[in-house]
Amino acid sequence: MKKVYHVDLGDRAYDIHIEPGCLDRIGRALREVVPDAGRCFVVTNETVAPLYLGKVTDSLERSGWSCFHCILPDGERFKTLDTWSGILDAMMDARLARNEPALALGGGVVGDMAGFAAACYRRGIPYVQIPTTLLAQVDSSVGGKTGVNHPQGKNMIGAFYQPRLVWIDPRVLATLDPREIRAGLAEVIKYGAIWDRGFFDWLDTVMPRALALDEDVVSQMILNACRYKAEIVMADETERGKRALLNLGHTFGHAIEALTGYRRYLHGEAVGLGMRMAARLSEQKGLAPAGCEDAVLHLLQAAGLPTKIPSFSFGDWMDAMAHDKKNIGTLVRFVLMRDIGHAFICEDVQPDEIRRLIESFRA
């Protein structure tokens, strides 16, 4: 059931390897992509370390690697410059050379921070993504976005820095909290909503099997999501245009995360809520046909995701969205929908339309 997708970015190209049970072969795989190094550095967190750090370290040592590691606290609220600086301190203590790779073993927070540290340490060392959450496997591990949050906005500090390899073992999802599985499914739904109505409809038919972690369904789902994202990244690596489509639901979703202190919702849950808001706004503006929001809502409910939009003041919404990275100056840019499978970037959303949208959910 091995599936491999090649991300063709010239001298920054890499493979996404998806295979149940592949985690204990990461040592050999790393040797193939970084053949001239003898030491490596694993970044993980306090939740993942007891589960998989030993297995990864054993695999690395069997292939002749000497390993160092850094264990971070777990949670979005620790995705800060202080935590990132701690990774750099540990890299300095290990005296990593410029050709010695870092491995990000964990979810999106670990991957983003380890990748950003790898981008900055000695002005760039190789790094590999080993995502252990569904959200990271289908989204954040692919594409080279790295960074940390700032109190005024999510992922506002970072760099585009591509991994050398993305190594995905769907079996690690068995130890994941079911809530994390559901949060990851929100990002999977997003790909169907922006790119492929057929995939969106397929998800509706297989959702019970996806929630049960059926290996065939999950592997195919991860491959499709990674392929859609990689195709967009290959066309627009540094988000000058088309790549912003991947942010469907994120302008509202990031605002929800910020307004709740990154404690109430998982990232995928907030994105799911943001997709519902984007679909309703698309309908209210006459851009999408009636039923677009209902289709998104149905699939979110099938995945067991929250669908009730939290209530904040209009001013709070606008202030939170003002810090979105897609904005140009003071112009708030949204990713909206013409229909399921057809998203676009919209720069014509007026404050009164946002006010009407917020009031419609309050009603």
Let me know how long the chain is. Answer: 363
CB 190 within 8 A of CB 224: no
Catalytic residue among 17, 145, 154, 333: 145
Residue 187 falls in the annotated catalytic set:
yes
Q: Considering the candidates 190, 267, 280, 326, report the single residue annotated as catalytic.
A: 267
pLDDT given at position 154 = 80
Confidence of residue 329 (pLDDT cuts 50, 70, 90): very low
Which entry of 227, 254, 280, 326 is annotated as an active-site residue?
254
Distance separating alpha carbons of residues 267 and 138, to the nearest angstrom: 13
Is residue 325's pLDDT more than 90?
A: no
Task: Write down the catalytic residue from 182, 190, 243, 333.
Answer: 243
Write phi, then psi, for 159 (nearest 5 degrees): -155, 155
The Cα–Cα gap between 297 and 107 comes to 26
Backbone torsions φ then ψ of 6, nearest 5 degrees: -95, 125
If one compares 270 and 76, the residue with the highest pLDDT of the two is: 270
Percent share of the chain, pLDDT over 70: 98
Options 250, 325, 326, 333, the catalytic residue: 250
Query: Model pTM?
Result: 0.91
List Cα–Cα distances, 123 to 37, 79, 86, 98, 126, in angstroms. Answer: 17, 21, 17, 8, 11
- Residue 250 annotated as catalytic: yes
Residue intervals in the chain for CATH 1.20.1090.10 = 178-362
Catalytic residue list contains 239: yes
Residue 179 is among the residues annotated as catalytic for this protein: no
Dihedral (CA of 280, 281, 282, 284) sign: positive
Q: Is residue 298 flagged as an active site residue?
A: no
What's the mean pLDDT when you consider all of the chain?
94
Residues of the chain with CATH 3.40.50.1970: 3-175
Confidence category of residue 326, pLDDT binned at 50, 70, 90: low
Q: What distance in Å separates the CA atoms of residue 105 and residue 171, rounded to the nearest whole number?
A: 14
Question: Among the CATH numbers 1.10.260.40, 1.10.443.10, 1.20.1090.10, 3.40.50.2300, which is that of 178-362?
Answer: 1.20.1090.10
pLDDT surpasses 50 at 15: yes
Lowest-pLDDT range of 56-60, 291-295, 325-329: 325-329
Q: Which residue is listed with tokens 């897609």?
A: 326
DSSP letters, 8-22, are --GGG-EEEEE-TT-
Q: What is the pLDDT of residues 135-182, one digit of tens each?
A: 999 999 999 999 999 888 788 899 999 999 999 999 999 999 999 999
Asked if 182 and 268 touch (Cβ cutoff 8 Å), the reply is: yes
In tens, the pLDDT along 91-133 reads: 999 999 999 999 999 999 999 999 999 999 999 999 999 999 9
| Span 300-325, average pLDDT | 91
**Alpha helix stretches (DSSP H) within the chain:** 26-33, 54-62, 81-94, 108-120, 134-135, 178-195, 197-211, 215-235, 250-259, 267-284, 292-302, 314-321, 351-362
- State yes or no: is 342 an active-site residue: no
Residue 145 annotated among the catalytic residues of the structure: yes
State yes or no: is 28 an active-site residue.
no
**DSSP code string of 27-69:** HHHHHHHSTT-SEEEEEEETTTIIIIIHHHHHHHHHTT-EEEE
Flag whether pLDDT at 330 surpasses 60. no
Topology at the third CATH level for domain 3-175: Rossmann fold (3.40.50)
Helix axes 250-259, 314-321, angle to 10 degrees: 110
Tens digit of each residue's pLDDT (9 = 90 or more) over 179-215: 999 999 999 999 999 999 999 999 999 999 999 999 9
- Considering 76, 100, 187, 269, which one is annotated as catalytic? 187
95, 123, 263, 308: which one is catalytic? 123
344 pLDDT exceeds 60? yes
Pick the catalytic residue from 239, 257, 283, 293.
239
Pairwise CA distance, residues 109 & 136, whole Å: 9
More confident residue, 241 or 314: 314
Whose CA is closest to 108, among 186, 56, 36? 186
